């Protein structure tokens, strides 16, 4: 298959899932509202101590983004599984990892990008500096696709199982922890003047590895779940 043909397939897969996401705007808004509410509750509960808020802000935003990402994993393949589309994807001559990659990209565009856009507003609640907010956005931009890629593997493995939402959380949460540590650590290092280059490089390495490996692993997990 030519590169143009593969790009056309990928574009169609992304566009299809984005159209479906727009039709189910309530699901997308639920993830975003959950993220905003969780982050906004911490300053109210901790109090107005500026230094404390600045020190805990990056970790709070990243934990909320991680939980919001997990909240949206349930709808990644469940709709296609219910209406039989997933079975057709397995039978189609197009490469299944490419179709999976398109679905994950659409999932990130509908659930991850809104979190990145809201990060500056939420960072202001914790008194983060402009440079720290920019680093926070950069880490979320690098880290949230990794969360979607890893989450897709867990969602595929637990597809159709009773209590799949709990199982996928148990599967992917340990794999999310390195992304959480380096994402929040980059903002803290930048705020303390140490520089965030090392943390950002590791997040970039995680992103490259997930882009190369996760679609194939997810496709294999889908075949196992559908057997």
Q: How far is CA 72 from CA 32, 185, 220, in A?
A: 10, 25, 21
Whole-prediction pTM value?
A: 0.89
Each residue of 158-177: pLDDT tens digit?
886 766 667 787 888 889 99
Q: What does DSSP assign to residue 125?
A: H
Can you tell me the distance from the alpha carbon of 203 to that of 208, in angstroms, rounded to the nearest whole number? 9
pLDDT at 156 over 90: no
Q: How many CB atoms lie within 10 A of CB 153?
A: 26
pLDDT at 3 over 80: no
Mean pLDDT of 142-167: 83
For residue 204, the model assigns a pLDDT of: 93
Can you tell me the distance from the alpha carbon of 187 to that of 199, in angstroms, rounded to the nearest whole number? 9
**Average pLDDT score, the chain:** 85
Helix 25-46 crosses helix 50-71 at what angle (to 10 degrees)?
160
Cβ-proximal residues to 74 (8 Å cutoff; 6+ apart), any chain: 155, 164, 165, 168
Identify the domain containing residue 200 by its residue range: 3-226
Each residue of 184-212: pLDDT tens digit?
888 888 877 777 888 899 999 999 999 99
Each residue of 76-132: pLDDT tens digit?
887 777 777 788 888 888 888 888 998 999 989 988 899 999 988 888 888 888 888
Looking at the structure of the chain, the number of domains it has is 1
- How buried is 148 (Cβ within 10 angstroms: 0-12 exposed, 13-18 middle, 19+ buried)? buried
């Amino acid at each position: 298959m030519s590169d143009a043909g593969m790009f056309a397939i990928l574009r169609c897969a992304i566009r299809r899932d984005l159209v479906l996401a727009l039709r189910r705007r309530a699901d997308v808004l639920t993830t975003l509202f959950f993220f905003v509410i969780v982050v906004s509750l911490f300053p109210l509960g901790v109090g107005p101590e500026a230094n404390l808020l600045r020190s805990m802000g990056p970790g709070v935003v990243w934990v909320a983004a991680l939980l919001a990402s997990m909240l949206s994993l349930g709808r990644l393949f469940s709709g296609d599984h219910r209406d039989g589309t997933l079975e057709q994807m397995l039978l189609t001559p197009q490469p299944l990892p490419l179709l999976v990659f398109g679905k994950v990209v659409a999932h990130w565009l509908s659930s991850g990008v809104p979190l990145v856009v809201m990060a500056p507003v939420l960072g202001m609640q914790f008194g983060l500096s402009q440079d720290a907010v920019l680093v926070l956005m950069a880490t979320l931009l690098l880290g949230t696709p990794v969360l979607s890629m890893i989450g897709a593997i867990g969602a595929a493995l637990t597809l159709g199982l009773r209590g799949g939402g709990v199982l996928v959380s148990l599967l992917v949460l340990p794999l999310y922890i390195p992304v959480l540590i380096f994402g929040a650590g980059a903002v803290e290092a930048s705020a303390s003047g140490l520089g965030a280059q090392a943390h950002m490089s590791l997040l970039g390495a995680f992103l490259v590895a997930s882009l190369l490996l996760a679609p194939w692993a997810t496709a294999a997990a889908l075949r196992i779940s559908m057997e």
